Amino acid sequence: MNAPIPASGRARAAALLSRLESGLAGQSRSSTAGARLVRAPGRVNLIGEYTDFNLGFVLPAAIDLEVWIAFEPWDRPEVELTSIELNETRSFAFAGLAPRTERHGSWIDYVAGTAWAMIEAGLPVRGFRGVLNSTVPVGAGLSSSAALEMASSWALADPTAARPTADRMAVVAQRAENGYVGVNCGIMDQFASAAGSAGHALLIDCRSITATPSPMPPALSIVVCDTGAPHKLDASAYNTRRAECEEGVRIIAEREPGVKSLRDVDEAMLTRNRNRLPEIVGRRCEHIVLENSRVIATVAALRDGDLDSLGRLFAASHASLRNLFEVSSVELDEMVDVANSVPGVLASRMTGAGFGGCTVSLVERGAEESLRERVMTEYPKRTGLTARVFNVEAVDGAGPIDVS
């Protein structure tokens, strides 16, 4: 069922549809009577960092920073799309879509890749002409790329065919990013954008690829602070972490039958085997094993409104990412420190892959502006960088918006 346009989104929808219509002027079709609108949210991970490829748990929320596409289906097996932010129109045809060895590095790859992955999965696609705009900041770690893929998947889908479930569409979009765009991401971003639920975070089990909505206490709001230091996740740092986790699994499995991933390792098992692990591998494994427990504990604390535990869990996650997994940065540490000094901030930590990017804080409703003010004045003094602060709400996953 189509979601009604939220009051705050009416102007945005009208602007996008009128832009679509003016783009069609002079074409054989002069009206956008057949115009449609789809949306897909970005996401922020509340807790559970680097646990995804260890087949553990993550707890993201889909947020009200979103990619919207206004489009009109046409009979041609082609897509022509304009990005308003980039002021650029790109097109591609369905015929001959194939992952390239040499990347073009264009934003349309996320859309073409989604079409490619849908066709590969046997899902019918339909051509369209459209315009897109987005309020998801690019490259800040809030997954503008997954939002673009999920919005594209809705625009491309043949409405006469049965819509696959959100988890299946997430897997298809992840394949687009891994196999076509060439970015080796886990399932979290696409799944959160596809399956989000208003007022809830999503507990994702990355082994079974299932999601359970986890209610957010209504008295809490989510504030994302961008450090302004781009999350330059260098591929070698990421790959080294992956290899270290795999080495831990291999060594632990020699003595512990049934261990296939760090997901299967509990604290007692890690302690028993710790002296057999190289020091650095032991620290990486300790982060993953305890981070998985923290995700489950956070779901319980959110359910029970146990604010003290939330603060402790976020602090422990940040310290572990800084000291054991070594993916934080001076900027992230300073941002968390500034946030923790503001009354009403209950929990704060780095979010995403680290080395820059954003922090996420859980804040008593009403304290958001004090946090914003403190960050905007104090953080630049400490780092010389300009921060951006986003008050976000947990929203429903991607889907069509009713334009009638």
Query: Which residues are identified as catalytic?
Result: 189
Least distance between ligand ADP and beta carbon 8 (Å): 19
Does residue 186 touch ligand ADP according to CB under 6 A? no
Does residue 107 touch ligand ADP according to CB under 6 A? yes
CB 199 within 8 A of CB 48: no
CB 331 within 8 A of CB 356: yes
Does residue 333 touch ligand ADP according to CB under 6 A? no
Say which entry of ligand ADP, Mg ion, none residue 364 contacts (CB below 5 to 8 A, set by partner kind). none
The two structure tokens encoding residue 173: 């979009």
| C-alpha span between 66 and 297 (Å, rounded) | 29
Question: Interface with ligand ADP by CB under 6 A: which range of 3-11, 78-86, 152-160, 319-327?
Answer: 78-86
Backbone angles phi, psi at 117, to 5 degrees: -70, -35
Q: Would strands 88-93 and 78-83 be described as parallel, antiparallel, or unpaired?
A: antiparallel
Backbone angles phi, psi at 86, to 5 degrees: -90, -10
Radius of gyration over every alpha carbon of the chain, rounded to an integer in angstroms: 22
Does residue 179 touch ligand ADP according to CB under 6 A? no
Does residue 191 touch ligand ADP according to CB under 6 A? no
Question: Interface with ligand ADP by CB under 6 A: which range of 69-77, 142-150, 209-217, 257-265?
Answer: 142-150
Say which entry of ligand ADP, Mg ion, none residue 138 contacts (CB below 5 to 8 A, set by partner kind). ligand ADP
Nearer of residues 145 and 361 to Mg ion, judged by Cβ: 145
Site for Mg ion in 116-135 (CB under 5 A): none
| C-alpha span between 327 and 301 (Å, rounded) | 26
Least distance between ligand ADP and beta carbon 112 (Å): 12
CA 131 distance to own-chain centroid: 22
Does residue 48 touch ligand ADP according to CB under 6 A? no
Three-class DSSP category at 204: strand
Least distance between ligand ADP and beta carbon 327 (Å): 15
- What is the arrangement of strands in the sheet containing 200-205, beginning at the earlier edge strand? 57-58, 200-205, 210-215
| C-alpha triplet 354, 356, 359: angle, nearest 5° | 75
Question: Interface with Mg ion by CB under 5 A: which range of 51-59, 140-148, 165-173, 300-308?
Answer: 140-148
Does residue 359 touch ligand ADP according to CB under 6 A? no
| C-alpha span between 323 and 372 (Å, rounded) | 27
Question: Interface with Mg ion by CB under 5 A: which range of 27-35, 144-152, 201-209, 390-398?
Answer: 144-152
Question: Which residues bind to ligand ADP, rule: CB under 6 A?
Answer: 83, 85-86, 107, 110, 132, 134, 138-145, 148
Question: Which residues bind to Mg ion, rule: CB under 5 A?
Answer: 143, 145
